[in-house]
Amino acid sequence: MIRHLNTLKNEDWFYRPWILLGTGPSLDNFVFNDWKDHNIVAIYDAYFACDYVDVLFVSDRWDDPVYGNNHYWRNDNIKFVATRNENITRIGEQKNIVMWDYDCEERRIFYDQDRYPCSNTSSLAVLWLGTMGVKEIKTFGIDGGKGVSKYVSEEYRKGLDTLPGGIDYDFTHENGGVFGHANILEINLIKQ
């Protein structure tokens, strides 16, 4: 049976401090050994910067030709892969998948589409942690602006090529939801 993401709050390890890893350039400064006492939530290829990840968020459709070959759920260095329910129906149940019932294309948490065009995967992670009672999150790679970390794969870079501006896509607008959720849920985001 697939578990819901929110059930992770019931596990003892959940109550350690949290660090959020995005795919922005400041991820290059992350040193895994310095953060072993934290729970690590990573967004997509940010997990390549780690020896181990507690929760990996992957929200894009797994039948997408760019991301479809990235079998994140098979990586033994990831405790849980959090994805939307429709992806689970494509691959079947896997031991480490937890689901959430949010679909970025159908529901927008922030209805101000000029400032928050969509709650992206990073902001979904912040939303989840905030609703679970987490009040402080340290971050690497949640930069806004242009550019990506050296850790991201060629497949991820190809995915960026499908966005306006390609590899020079500006994440400032898209990442607005990260800071919006943090503000509304009174989360202290600490950029490292």
Q: Is 68 left (phi over 0), alpha (psi -120 to 50) or beta?
A: alpha
Model pLDDT for residues 106-152, shown as the tens digit of each residue? 444 444 555 444 567 898 899 889 999 999 999 999 998 888 999 98
pLDDT at site 108: 46
pLDDT at site 34: 97
Q: Is the pTM of this model over 0.95?
A: no
Do 103 and 84 form a contact (C-beta atoms < 8 A)?
Answer: yes
pLDDT at site 47: 92
pLDDT at site 106: 42
Tokens of 120: 């992206």
Say how many domains are in the chain. Answer: 1
DSSP state of 137: E
pLDDT at site 73: 58
The mean pLDDT values, 10 residues at a time, for the chain of 192 residues are: 88 97 96 97 93 89 56 74 74 71 50 54 89 97 91 82 74 80 92 95
Q: Is 132 exposed, middle or buried (0-12, 13-18, 19+ CB in 10 A)?
A: middle
Q: Is 123 left (phi over 0), alpha (psi -120 to 50) or beta?
A: alpha
pLDDT at site 188: 98
Which domain does 157 fall in, by range? 3-191
pLDDT at site 63: 60
For residue 93, give Cα distances in angstroms to 19, 45, 62, 99: 27, 22, 14, 11
Q: Return the CATH number at 148.
A: 3.90.1480.10
